């Protein structure tokens, strides 16, 4: 019954129940978006890193990795080509900190390993003990367009019941040609496709 591996990387939304919010008669759920990355090495003999959980942070000016991942059991050191000597300050939605930069790290999403890209990471002790890194919107928009699959549905008590997913489509993929019919529905596919929409019975035209 499993849907198997999706072809594109994605963020999934999760809800956390918060008693403090409930006590204040607020909407008692908070949401966060999660994905998983693997760091890759240019050395073909080295396996990818373990799957690393990341949360989307639209405030983080770059993506951030906990320092304990570099020096602790995850052993990410070999995947970071260079590490800056200077510490630079940063700000996220959850607070401030500082850390060193590891530029141009080769990365893929665990559930879509075919899509590799370069990502700059800030290595910071401020994220230690959290267990997850922060993925910046900068690194999404540089490499991917964002689409939504599904929608948010609360149940009749306004509790979260169904969530959409953010699906990331790489820019400049070989099949990245868009077509539109007169409805208008839009689809993406290889160049030169002949398709007809079953709703309007018109051919899709490349746009």
Partner 1 sequence: MNLRRKKEEEKLRRQKEEEKLDRGIELLLHRGRTAYSNPEVWLEFREQMRLTVLYPGRWVAFRDHFEGEGVSRRLLRREVLRSARSAFAVSKYLASLPEKEQRGVFIDFVEPR
- Give the interface with partner 1 as residue ranges (CB under 8 A): 1-6, 12, 14-19, 34, 36, 50-53, 72-74, 110-111, 131-132, 149-151, 155, 157, 159-162
16 or 59: whose CB is closer to partner 1?
A: 16
> φ and ψ at 192, to 5 degrees?
85, 10
Cβ at position 91, least distance to partner 1 in Å = 22
d(CA 83, CA 174): 33
112 or 122: whose CB is closer to partner 1?
A: 112
Cβ at position 164, least distance to partner 1 in Å = 9
Do the strands 29-39 and 112-124 form a parallel or antiparallel pair, or are they unpaired?
A: unpaired
d(CA 182, CA 200): 7
149 or 203: whose CB is closer to partner 1?
A: 149
Cβ at position 73, least distance to partner 1 in Å = 5
Torsion of CA 88, 99, 136, 174, to 10 degrees: 90
d(CA 22, CA 161): 17
Cβ at position 51, least distance to partner 1 in Å = 5
Cβ at position 129, least distance to partner 1 in Å = 10
> φ and ψ at 22, to 5 degrees?
-60, -40
Nearest residue to 199 via CA among 180, 172, 174? 180
73 or 192: whose CB is closer to partner 1?
A: 73
101 or 105: whose CB is closer to partner 1?
A: 105
């Amino acid at each position: 019954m499993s849907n198997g591996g999706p072809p594109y990387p994605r963020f999934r939304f999760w809800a956390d129940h918060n008693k403090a919010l409930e006590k204040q008669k607020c909407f008692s759920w908070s949401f966060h978006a999660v994905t998983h990355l693997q760091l890759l090495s240019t050395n073909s003999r080295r396996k990818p890193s373990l799957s690393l959980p990341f949360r989307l942070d639209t405030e983080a000016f770059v993506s951030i990795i906990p320092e304990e991942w570099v020096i602790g059991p995850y052993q990410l050191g070999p995947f970071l080509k260079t590490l800056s000597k200077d510490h630079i300050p940063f700000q996220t939605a959850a607070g401030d900190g500082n850390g060193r930069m590891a530029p141009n790290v080769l990365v893929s999403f665990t559930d879509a390993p075919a899509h590799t890209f370069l990502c700059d990471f800030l290595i910071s002790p401020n994220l230690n003990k959290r267990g997850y890194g922060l993925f910046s919107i900068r690194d999404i928009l540089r490499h991917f367009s964002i689409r939504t699959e599904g929608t948010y549905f609360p149940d009749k008590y306004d509790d979260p019941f169904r969530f959409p997913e953010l699906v990331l489509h790489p820019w400049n993929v070989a099949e990245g040609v868009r077509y539109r019919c007169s409805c208008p529905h839009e689809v993406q596919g290889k160049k030169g496709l002949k398709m007809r929409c079953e709703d309007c019975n018109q051919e899709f035209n490349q746009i």
